[in-house]
């Protein structure tokens, strides 16, 4: 086989469809967020970042950075092993205790990323529970889809955010079969939020495990930042809470929080937990400090929501097609892969504004968009600059405006 030819041909298709991904080469600046240095073709310039998942700016929080420095000086660079063989650092233990407490659970378990947490927890549960049936929301993230696939359990996909469809599917199955319902709270590309109370009621009716991904909510929703389940007063009804340390908490890593027995089960049987080196102690220390800080930072959560509301209003007033979103995520519809990339390029080259295009397969074809994520650190002036630039780009590319 002509291997090189194969790779090039497949990449050629991506180019033709306008779905080839290019990465912005950025250097984040300590204390400078949301401004970053952009490297391109040997040139460097400042850009204003509008699409980061460092939603609260915690990646630049001075306390978090100081904690990482301290742990680096105390412990050195790497963890030194897998959790089982010499790689459990005291910072890992403290972080797990903090996360269990955040979610009011008996125990928590950390992983090297939110992705790994989902793949490992879902594959381990689905594989282990005999005859387990898994019900997955149609819009679930790839990490959950892959975790379910690896479990080899029978899967049913229920309509997005539709408890009635879920109930219908569950009612058609063996009432005695073990069941698990897998869903998210904030869906990150549309910014909509699941009806948690209703979905959990269906789970309870059918005696199913509920597995809730709060990756785009932890730190940002609920009185202590434990997520939408906390905000909605239903956290105690969720069997497995899953989250990330990378977005609202600004560092890296993922976790689950659940009962002692369930967490111990994943710890003991989860390949993606067992057979990999644990996160560096400095990362765990940074995440620990961030979680502790964010738990008490209601002002940050309020400001974050206010920034999102303000930006949505400004975009709407300018006639730009903001998609409906009830969260901090602000998607603006373009509806075409190539135009979406062109719009993003024009923002970068002409306005020094960075918003990554979101194309298929991350979103369905025809719904390509610019996904904007205002943070507490984005000012009114920055918003006005963004809106002006978008209006100009929309006109230049003859993009569709709001109806
Ligand atoms: N779950 C959802 C819903 C996500 O959107 C993502 C990533 O964006 C993940 C899990 C993976 O989290 P992480 O970035 O920590 O690997």
pLDDT tens digits in sequence order for the chain, 403 residues long: 999 999 999 999 999 988 899 999 999 999 999 999 999 999 999 999 999 999 999 999 999 999 999 999 999 999 999 999 999 999 999 999 999 999 999 999 999 999 999 999 999 999 999 999 999 999 999 999 999 999 999 999 999 999 999 999 999 999 999 999 999 999 999 999 999 999 999 999 999 999 999 999 999 999 999 999 999 999 999 999 999 999 999 999 999 999 999 999 999 999 999 999 999 999 999 999 999 999 999 999 999 999 999 999 999 999 999 999 999 999 999 999 999 999 999 999 999 999 999 999 899 999 999 999 999 999 999 999 999 999 999 999 999 998 8
Q: Which of 155, 159, 247, 341 is catalytic?
A: 247
Structural contact between residues 224 and 230, judged by C-beta atoms closer than 8 angstroms: yes
Respond yes or no: is residue 312 known to be catalytic: no
From ligand 1's centre to the CA of 394, what distance in Å?
30
From ligand 1's centre to the CA of 171, what distance in Å?
30
pTM for this one?
0.97
User: Distance between CA 287 and CA 323 in Å, rounded?
Assistant: 32
Q: The tokens 């024009």 sit on which residue?
A: 346
End-to-end, the C-alpha distance of the chain in Å comes to 51
Which of 215, 255, 331 for mutating ligand 1's site (highest number of atoms within 8 Å of CB)? 215
- Residue 266 makes CB contacts below 8 A (sequence gap 6+) with 109, 120, 121, 124, 125, 256, 273
Structural contact between residues 378 and 34, judged by C-beta atoms closer than 8 angstroms: yes
From ligand 1's centre to the CA of 190, what distance in Å?
15
Structural contact between residues 261 and 61, judged by C-beta atoms closer than 8 angstroms: no
Ligand 1 atom with minimal separation from the 246 CA: 15
Number of Cβ within a 10 Å radius of residue 207:
12
- Residue 66 makes CB contacts below 8 A (sequence gap 6+) with 289
Structural contact between residues 125 and 135, judged by C-beta atoms closer than 8 angstroms: no
Give the CA count within 13 Å in the CB-facing half-sphere of 90: 3
> Longest C-alpha distance within the chain, in Å?
63
């Amino acid at each position: 086989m002509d291997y090189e030819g194969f790779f090039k041909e497949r990449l050629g298709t991506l180019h033709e469809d306008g779905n080839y991904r290019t990465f912005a080469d950025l250097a984040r600046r300590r204390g400078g967020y949301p401004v970053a240095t952009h490297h391109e073709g040997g040139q460097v310039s400042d850009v204003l970042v509008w699409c980061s998942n460092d939603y609260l700016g915690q990646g630049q929080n001075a306390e978090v950075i100081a904690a990482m420095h301290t742990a680096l000086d105390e412990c050195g660079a790497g963890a030194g092993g897998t959790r089982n063989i010499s790689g459990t650092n005291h910072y890992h233990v403290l972080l797990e205790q903090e996360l269990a407490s955040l979610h009011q659970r008996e125990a928590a378990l950390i992983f090297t990323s939110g992705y790994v947490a989902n793949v490992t927890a879902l594959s381990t549960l689905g594989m282990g529970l005999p005859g387990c049936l898994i019900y997955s929301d149609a819009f679930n993230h790839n990490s959950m889809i892959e975790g379910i696939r690896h479990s080899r359990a029978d899967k049913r996909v229920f309509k997005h955010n539709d408890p009635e469809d879920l109930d219908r599917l569950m009612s058609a199955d063996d009432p005695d079969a073990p069941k698990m319902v897998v869903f998210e709270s904030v869906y990150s590309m549309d910014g909509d939020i699941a009806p948690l109370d209703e979905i959990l009621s269906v789970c309870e009716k059918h005696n199913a495990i509920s597995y809730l991904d709060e990756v785009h909510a932890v730190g940002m929703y609920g009185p202590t930042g434990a997520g939408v389940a906390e905000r909605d007063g239903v956290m105690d009804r969720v069997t497995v809470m899953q989250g990330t340390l990378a977005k609202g908490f600004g560092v890296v890593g993922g976790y689950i929080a659940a009962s002692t027995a369930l967490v111990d089960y994943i710890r003991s049987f989860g390949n993606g937990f067992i057979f990999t080196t644990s996160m560096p102690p400095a990362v765990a220390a940074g995440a620990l400090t961030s979680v502790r800080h964010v738990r008490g930072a209601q002002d940050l959560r309020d400001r974050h929501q206010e920034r999102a509301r303000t930006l949505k209003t400004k975009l709407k007033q300018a006639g730009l097609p903001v998609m409906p979103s009830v969260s901090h995520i602000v998607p603006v519809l373009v509806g075409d892969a190539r135009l979406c990339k062109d719009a993003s390029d024009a923002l970068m080259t002409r306005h020094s504004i960075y918003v990554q295009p979101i194309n298929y397969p991350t979103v369905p074809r025809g719904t390509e968009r610019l996904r904007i994520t205002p943070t507490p650190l984005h000012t009114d002036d920055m918003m006005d600059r963004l809106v002006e630039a978008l209006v100009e780009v929309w006109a230049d590319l003859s993009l569709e405006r709001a109806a």
